[in-house]
Amino acid sequence: MEFPFDINQLFSERISVMDQTLIAGRKSAGRPDLQAHIATVIDELGRASAKAQQLTAPITSASKLQSQRHQLYLLKDGESSGGRGVVVGFLKVGYKKLFLLDRQGVHIEAEPLCVLDFYIAENLQRNGYGLELFDFMLQHKNLEPVLMAYDRPSPKLLSFLAKHYCLTQSVPQVNNFVVFEGFFLNRTVVQLRKVPPKKPDGEIKPYSLMEREAVRQEQRSLPWPFAPSHSPQRSVYSQYSHSLSVGSSPTRAPPRVAPPSSPGGNRDQSPRSPLVDRCRARRTSSLNRSQLGFH
Number of Cβ within a 10 Å radius of residue 171: 15
The reply, when asked if residue 39 is annotated as ligand binding, is: no
- Hey, is 118 helix, strand or coil? strand
The reply, when asked if residue 290 is annotated as ligand binding, is: no
Cβ-contact 23, 12 below 8 angstroms = no
The reply, when asked if residue 258 is annotated as ligand binding, is: no
Give CA–CA dist 7/10, Å, rounded.
Answer: 5
The reply, when asked if residue 30 is annotated as ligand binding, is: no
Cβ-contact 77, 89 below 8 angstroms = no
The reply, when asked if residue 73 is annotated as ligand binding, is: no
The reply, when asked if residue 183 is annotated as ligand binding, is: no
Give CA–CA dist 94/140, Å, rounded.
Answer: 13
The reply, when asked if residue 126 is annotated as ligand binding, is: yes
38-66 in b/e form (b: 16+ CB < 10 A) is bbebbbbbbebbbeebeeeebebbbebbe
Its sign, for the CA torsion 120, 94, 181, 188, is positive
The reply, when asked if residue 273 is annotated as ligand binding, is: no
The reply, when asked if residue 125 is annotated as ligand binding, is: yes
The reply, when asked if residue 119 is annotated as ligand binding, is: yes
The reply, when asked if residue 144 is annotated as ligand binding, is: no
Cβ-contact 73, 19 below 8 angstroms = no
Give CA–CA dist 232/238, Å, rounded.
Answer: 10
Cβ-contact 116, 59 below 8 angstroms = yes
DSSP codes, 56-104: SS-S--HHHHHHS--EEEEEEETTTTTTT-EEEEEEEEEE--EEEE-TT
The reply, when asked if residue 154 is annotated as ligand binding, is: yes
The reply, when asked if residue 122 is annotated as ligand binding, is: yes
The reply, when asked if residue 118 is annotated as ligand binding, is: yes
Look at strands 149-151 and 113-120 and give their pairing. parallel
The reply, when asked if residue 16 is annotated as ligand binding, is: no
The reply, when asked if residue 123 is annotated as ligand binding, is: yes
The reply, when asked if residue 124 is annotated as ligand binding, is: yes
The reply, when asked if residue 95 is annotated as ligand binding, is: no
DSSP 134: H
- Extract the annotated binding site: 118-131, 154-163
- Extract the annotated binding site for acetyl-CoA: 118-131, 154-163
